[in-house]
Structure 1
Amino acid sequence: MKGPVQIADKTWWVGVNDRTTDLFEALWPLNRGISYNSYMVADEKVAVIDGVKADFYPQYVENLKAILGPDRTVDYMIVNHVEPDHSGAVEVMVQAFPDITVVGNDKTLKFLTQFYGPLPNFLEVKDGDVLDLGDHKLTFALIPMVHWPETMVSYDTSTKALFSCDAFGSFGALDGGVFDDQLELDSYRDETYRYYANIVGKYSSFVMKALNKIRDMKLDIAIVCPSHGPVYRKDPDYIIDFYEKMARNETDRAVLVVYGSMYGNTARLAEAVAEGVHSGGITDVMVKNSATSDLSELVRDLWRCRGLILVGCSYNGGVFPKIKHFMDIVEGKKVSGRFVGICGSYTWSKGAAMKPMRAFAEQSCWTKVEPEVEVLSRPDRKDLEEAHKLGANMAEAVSKA
Structure 2
Amino acid sequence: MNVKEFIEGIHYVGVNDRTTSRFEALWPLPSGVTYNSYIVTGTNKTALIDGVEISACEKLRDHIKTVLGDKAPDYLVINHMEPDHTGSIKVLRSFYPEMTIVGNAKTLEMVKGFYGIENNLLKVADGNIIDLGGMSLRFTLTPMVHWPETMMTYVKEKSVLFSGDAFGCFGALTGGITDSETDTEQFIPEMYRYYSNIVGKYGVFVQKALAKLSSIKLDYICPTHGPVWHDEIARVTAIYDSLSKYEAETGVVIVYGSMYGNTEEMAEVIASRLAENGIKKIRIHNASYSHLSYILSDIFRYKGLIIGAPTYSNTLFPPIEALLQAIKTREIKNRVTASFGSCTWAPQSVKRINAVLEEARLFNGDIASPQAKQAPDATAINDCKTLADAVAARLLNSSPHT
TM-score, length basis structure 2? 0.97
Q: Which residue of 2 aligns with 1:248?
A: 245
Q: Report the alpha carbon displacement of residue 367 of structure 1 after superposing the two structures with TM.
A: 4.8
Q: Which residue of 2 aligns with 1:296?
A: 293
1:190 pairs with 2:189: yes
Q: Which residue of 1 aligns with 2:139?
A: 140
Q: Is the 8 A contact 1:345 1:377 kept in 2?
A: yes
Q: Which residue of 2 aligns with 1:51?
A: 51
Deviations 1:113-146 (A, max 9, x none): 0001023201111111100000100100000000
Q: Which residue of 1 aligns with 2:370?
A: 373
Q: Which residue of 2 aligns with 1:233?
A: 230
Q: Distance in 2 between matches of 1:370 and 1:107?
A: 46
Q: Distance in 2 between matches of 1:109 and 1:265?
A: 55
**Runs of 4+ that moved beyond 6 A:** none
Residue identity opposite 2:216 in structure 1: L
1:124 pairs with 2:123: yes
Q: Is the 8 A contact 1:342 1:361 kept in 2?
A: no
Q: Report the alpha carbon displacement of residue 364 of structure 1 after superposing the two structures with TM.
A: 6.4
SS of residue in 1 equivalent to 2:5: strand
SS of residue in 2 equivalent to 1:344: strand
SS of residue in 2 equivalent to 1:362: helix
Q: Distance in 2 between matches of 1:279 and 1:346?
A: 28
Q: Which residue of 1 aligns with 2:352?
A: 356
Q: Is the 8 A contact 2:354 2:363 kept in 1?
A: no
SS of residue in 1 equivalent to 2:181: coil
Q: How does 1:2-401 map to 2 (within 5 A)?
A: 2-43=1-42, 44-70=44-70, 72-215=71-214, 218-350=215-347, 352-363=348-359, 365-368=361-364, 370-401=367-398
Deviations 1:215-248 (A, max 9, x none): 2xx2111100000011012232221111111111
Q: Distance in 2 between matches of 1:298 and 1:78?
A: 35
Deviations 1:185-211 (A, max 9, x none): 222111000000010010010000000
TM-score, length basis structure 1? 0.97
Q: Once superposed, what is the RMSD of the aligned Cα atoms? A: 1.1
The answer for unaligned runs of 5 or more in structure 1 is: none
Deviations 1:266-300 (A, max 9, x none): 11000011112112111111111010001010000
Q: Report the alpha carbon displacement of residue 360 of structure 1 after superposing the two structures with TM.
A: 2.4
Residue identity opposite 2:308 in structure 1: V
SS of residue in 1 equivalent to 2:187: helix
More moved, 244-253 vs 183-192? 183-192
Q: Report the alpha carbon displacement of residue 3 of structure 1 after superposing the two structures with TM.
A: 3.4
Q: Report the alpha carbon displacement of residue 253 of structure 1 after superposing the two structures with TM.
A: 0.4
Identity rate, percent: 38
SS of residue in 2 equivalent to 1:181: helix
Q: Report the alpha carbon displacement of residue 363 of structure 1 after superposing the two structures with TM.
A: 4.1
Q: Report the alpha carbon displacement of residue 108 of structure 1 after superposing the two structures with TM.
A: 0.6
Residue identity opposite 2:173 in structure 1: L
The answer for unaligned runs of 5 or more in structure 2 is: none
Deviations 1:2-37 (A, max 9, x none): 231112111100000001111111111111100000
Q: Is the 8 A contact 2:263 2:308 kept in 1?
A: yes
Q: Distance in 1 between matches of 2:181 and 2:58?
A: 26
Q: Distance in 2 between matches of 1:162 and 1:316?
A: 52
Q: Report the alpha carbon displacement of residue 84 of structure 1 after superposing the two structures with TM.
A: 0.5
Q: Distance in 2 between matches of 1:298 and 1:230?
A: 24
SS of residue in 2 equivalent to 1:395: helix
SS of residue in 2 equivalent to 1:348: coil
Q: Report the alpha carbon displacement of residue 314 of structure 1 after superposing the two structures with TM.
A: 0.8
Q: Distance in 1 between matches of 2:4 and 2:258?
A: 50
Q: Is the 8 A contact 1:165 1:227 kept in 2?
A: yes
Q: Distance in 1 between matches of 2:57 and 2:120?
A: 21
Q: Distance in 1 between matches of 2:287 and 2:2?
A: 41
Q: Is the 8 A contact 2:331 2:360 kept in 1?
A: no
Q: Is the 8 A contact 1:282 1:395 kept in 2?
A: yes
